[in-house]
């Protein structure tokens, strides 16, 4: 079955992963800018990373018939140093013009700190000034519900951001309703043994429906699974969900949300 994985960090994955994803039906992915597992020492390190995301990685993906899109930001884990964060944010407008960049992300909070919130607000300002889609990371370590509310408040405080142009990722059972109620899109990240498992995701679809909701693998350099999305499809089928429900969460919904950016070129045929 054809699908889109809207959040996966392919710079950390091998070509074998691209091959297995293509075999499982993946036709497009979107890759938010994120933490590399260590703190970069200068804005130049981010500049090189942004070039990798916009120049090299799309070519690597294309070899497997997968379209590669990306999002620009400095992630919340490296946002404590406001000076560095501002140097990196100054690079972003130039990269927003690249043909595979869909917007600003994954921005958000990690420890819900004051500096993280300041950098988040400045990213929201960039998205507003350049009319960009937003992809949001919500905290795993500190209070997720509190962090999710702080992020939604910051977006609403900006006053110009349409919530239907914002996807709030890493939602769980206790945050999904609050996100949907405020008009945002919600993403569930499927991890083998932390975050949401394919089984828990299926439970959440059964409780909250499929409107404005999608799944992703968020595969990265840690213990994660680039085939988590098709594994969730198998779980949904096993439970008797119809094929069109799976098509909604992993095809129609990503097409609708991502298609709000005219650069997103995947067609519904
Ligand atoms: Zn991520």
Q: Residue 60 maps to which CATH number? A: 3.20.20.140
What pLDDT does 142 receive? 65
Number of domains in the chain: 1
Mean of pLDDT values over 120-133 = 98
Whole-number Å distance, alpha carbon 106 to ligand 1 midpoint, is 7
Whole-number Å distance, alpha carbon 165 to ligand 1 midpoint, is 18
Q: Which domain holds residue 114?
A: 3-258
Whole-number Å distance, alpha carbon 166 to ligand 1 midpoint, is 15
What pLDDT does 195 receive? 72
Whole-number Å distance, alpha carbon 240 to ligand 1 midpoint, is 30
What radius of gyration do the chain's Cα atoms show? 17
Inside any domain, residue 268:
no
Please provide the average confidence, as pLDDT, over all residues in the chain. Answer: 96
Whole-number Å distance, alpha carbon 9 to ligand 1 midpoint, is 7
Whole-number Å distance, alpha carbon 7 to ligand 1 midpoint, is 6
Whole-number Å distance, alpha carbon 25 to ligand 1 midpoint, is 21
* pTM metric for this prediction: 0.97
Asked if pLDDT for residue 176 goes beyond 90, the answer is yes
Inside any domain, residue 43:
yes
Could you tell me which residues come within 8 angstroms of residue 206 by beta carbon, excluding any fewer than 6 positions away? 239
**3-state SS, residue 39:** coil
Inside any domain, residue 265:
no
21-30, 184-193, 239-248: least confidently modelled range: 184-193
Inside any domain, residue 41:
yes
Whole-number Å distance, alpha carbon 30 to ligand 1 midpoint, is 10
Give φ, ψ of 108 to 5 degrees: 155, -145
Q: How far apart are CA 269 and CA 258, in angstroms?
A: 16
Inside any domain, residue 266:
no
Whole-number Å distance, alpha carbon 188 to ligand 1 midpoint, is 11
Inside any domain, residue 269:
no
């Amino acid at each position: 079955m054809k699908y889109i994985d809207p959040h996966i960090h392919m710079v950390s994955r091998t070509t074998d992963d691209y091959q297995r994803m293509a075999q499982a039906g993946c036709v497009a992915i979107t890759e938010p800018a994120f933490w590399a597992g260590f703190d970069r020492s200068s804005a130049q390190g981010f500049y090189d990373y942004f070039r990798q995301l916009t120049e090299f990685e799309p070519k690597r993906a294309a070899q497997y018939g997968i379209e590669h899109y990306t999002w620009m930001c400095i992630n919340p884990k490296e946002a404590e140093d406001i000076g560095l964060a501002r140097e990196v944010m100054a690079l972003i407008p130039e990269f927003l013009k690249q043909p595979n960049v869909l917007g600003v992300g994954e921005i958000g909070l990690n420890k819900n700190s004051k500096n993280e919130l300041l950098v988040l607000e400045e990213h929201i300002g960039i998205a507003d000034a350049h009319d960009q889609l937003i992809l949001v990371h919500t905290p795993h370590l500190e209070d997720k519900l509190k962090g999710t509310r702080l992020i939604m408040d910051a977006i609403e405080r900006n006053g110009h951001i349409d919530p239907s142009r914002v996807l709030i990722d890493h939602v769980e059972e206790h945050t999904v309703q609050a996100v949907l109620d405020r008009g945002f899109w919600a993403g569930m990240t499927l991890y083998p043994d932390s975050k949401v498992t394919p089984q828990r995701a299926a439970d959440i679809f059964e409780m909250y429906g499929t409107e404005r909701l999608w799944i992703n693998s968020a595969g990265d350099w840690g213990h994660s699974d680039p085939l988590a999305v098709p594994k969730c499809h198998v779980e949904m089928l096993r439970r008797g969900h119809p094929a069109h429900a799976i098509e909604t969460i992993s095809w129609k919904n990503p097409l609708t949300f991502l298609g709000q950016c005219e650069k997103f070129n995947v067609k519904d045929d």
